[in-house]
């Protein structure tokens, strides 16, 4: 006599191929929806200016051209260079400081650690607009407004909460015996961090660097308020291309594509470590 569980199992096995097919179709549809802006970006950037209009944005160009990229690059290049000079040190320094914070909070317990960690994380929830004016006044007193130094400092400090969380969550998974053995060999906190913890924390470092680089590269508000014309990042330069009364859509799309290349390269080059870091719990609370 067939039991209820056997009947249910038989029904599930019968419908399993159809469920899998529907699942993949839904996922494919979502991917297509997600890639629609990318499609519009690419085809518009490679059209002749005479073919560019909102009513024809879905149409493929009659002939593909990369001349628009050459037209926008002179305008975009100074901001592009400024963003590289700003985002690289901001992401690396913030990640290193976050690694030190996370290691201390995970493995070197001290009085008040349970208070310090929530206070650091509180910085993640402070909106930019709330501290914009006092921050600019402070950096003005320090003569750090107008160039890239003030912008780099702001991104380093604003990135510390998330990098601290990433590394603390990662270092918690490291065996305490490993740290104890380093102490037995005479290593202090700094030597243990540099020679024991950091070499095995490359996945967490990749997560932190990618997160910070993307955040710093995509920032517009701080770059506009804290820098002068010569130090504007690429986001401000991109806004100047697309922000006129008559928007040159082909130039705006080409500039946006060029501006996105560094973040794409970071994900391509460090994506393998990024996935390992996520799976290791680097973003778990």
Per-residue pLDDT averaged across 44-51, rounded? 81
198-245 pLDDT tens trace? 888 888 888 899 999 999 999 999 999 999 989 999 999 988 887 655
Tokens representing residue 104 in the block: 């201390």
CATH number for the region 69-279 comes to 1.10.3720.10
- Average pLDDT across the chain, whole number: 84
Band (pLDDT 50/70/90 cuts) for residue 155 is very high
Cα 82 from chain centroid? 18
Q: Name the β-bridge partners of 227.
A: 146
98-141 pLDDT tens trace? 999 998 888 877 777 778 888 888 888 888 888 889 999 999 99
> For the chain, what is the radius of gyration of the CA atoms?
25
Tokens representing residue 43 in the block: 């085809």
Please tell me the pTM assigned to this model.
Answer: 0.82
16-26 pLDDT tens trace? 677 788 889 99
SS3 state at 146: strand
Neighbour tally for 109: CB within 10 Å = 10
1-42 pLDDT tens trace? 455 666 666 666 666 677 788 889 999 999 989 888 888 888
For the chain, the structural domain boundaries read 4-45, 69-279
User: What pLDDT, on the 0 to 100 scale, is given for residue 1?
Assistant: 47
H/E element, 118 = helix 113-122
Sign of CA dihedral 108, 114, 116, 121: positive
User: What pLDDT, on the 0 to 100 scale, is given for residue 213?
Assistant: 94
% of the chain exceeding 90 in pLDDT: 31
Tell me the range of 47-56, 60-69, 205-214 where mean pLDDT is highest. 205-214
């Amino acid at each position: 006599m067939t039991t209820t569980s056997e009947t249910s199992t038989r029904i599930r096995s019968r419908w399993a191929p159809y469920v899998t097919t529907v699942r993949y179709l839904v996922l494919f549809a979502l991917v297509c929806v997600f890639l629609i802006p990318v499609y519009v970006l690419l085809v518009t950037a490679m059209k002749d200016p005479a073919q560019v209009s909102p009513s024809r944005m879905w149409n493929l160009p009659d002939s593909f051209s990369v001349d628009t990229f050459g037209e926008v690059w002179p305008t975009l290049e100074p901001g592009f260079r400024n963003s590289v000079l700003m985002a690289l040190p901001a992401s690396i320094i913030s990640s290193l400081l976050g690694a030190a914070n996370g290691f201390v909070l995970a493995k070197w317990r001290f009085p008040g650690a349970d208070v310090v960690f929530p206070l650091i994380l509180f910085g993640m929830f402070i909106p930019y607009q709330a501290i914009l004016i006092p921050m600019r006044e402070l950096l003005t007193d320090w003569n750090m407004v107008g160039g890239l130094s003030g912008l780099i400092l702001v991104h380093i400090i604003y990135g510390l909460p998330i990098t601290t969380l990433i590394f603390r969550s990662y270092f918690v998974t490291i065996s305490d015996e490993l740290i104890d053995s380093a102490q037995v060999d005479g290593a202090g906190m700094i030597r243990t961090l540099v020679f024991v913890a950091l070499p095995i924390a490359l996945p967490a470092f990749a997560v932190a660097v990618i997160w910070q680089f993307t955040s710093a590269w995509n920032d517009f508000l701080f770059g506009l308020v804290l820098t002068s014309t010569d130090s504007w990042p690429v986001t401000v330069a991109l806004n100047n291309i697309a922000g006129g009364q008559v928007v040159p859509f082909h130039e705006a799309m080409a500039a946006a594509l060029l501006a996105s290349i560094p973040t794409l390269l970071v994900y391509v080059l460090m994506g393998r470590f990024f996935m390992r870091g996520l799976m290791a719990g680097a973003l778990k609370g």
